[in-house]
Amino acid sequence: GAGVSQSPSNKVTEKGKDVELRCDPISGHTALYWYRQSLGQGLEFLIYFQGNSAPDKSGLPSDRFSAERTGGSVSTLTIQRTQQEDSAVYLCASTQISESYEQYFGPGTRLTVT
């Protein structure tokens, strides 16, 4: 079946502009995560959505970052007033709530802020 998809695959933006990154999780997966992979920090958790519950935003690095999930499916990560330190690969993962909680990752969006 179809895996997690993300768009765009690459995004180059100028410092100060806003960007939106999109994630389509695996159909039927009720939980969705955003992670960020940067050279210095490795992979780090950003935000978690589960069903209709309030999202867990504890990993967001600043208030310039926000995310929403519409209809329990597609999610959008928005970064406002981008900075050079926001350059990274943004990865989305989804999981079906079950005993294993195994997470499945998308191919990522590579964001470059110039």
Task: Give the footprint of another protein on this chain (CB under 8 A).
Answer: 4, 6, 31, 33, 35, 42-45, 48, 50, 56, 58-59, 91, 93, 95, 99-108, 110
Residue 17 one-letter amino acid: K
The neighbour count for residue 22, using CB atoms within 10 Å, is: 15
- With respect to another protein, which residue has the nearer C-beta, 36 or 79? 36
Nearer residue to another protein within complex by CB, 48 or 74: 48
Look at phi and psi of residue 28 and say left if phi exceeds 0, alpha if psi is from -120 to 50, else beta. left
Task: Give the SS3 label for residue 90.
Answer: strand
Least distance in angstroms from the C-beta of 55 to another protein? 9
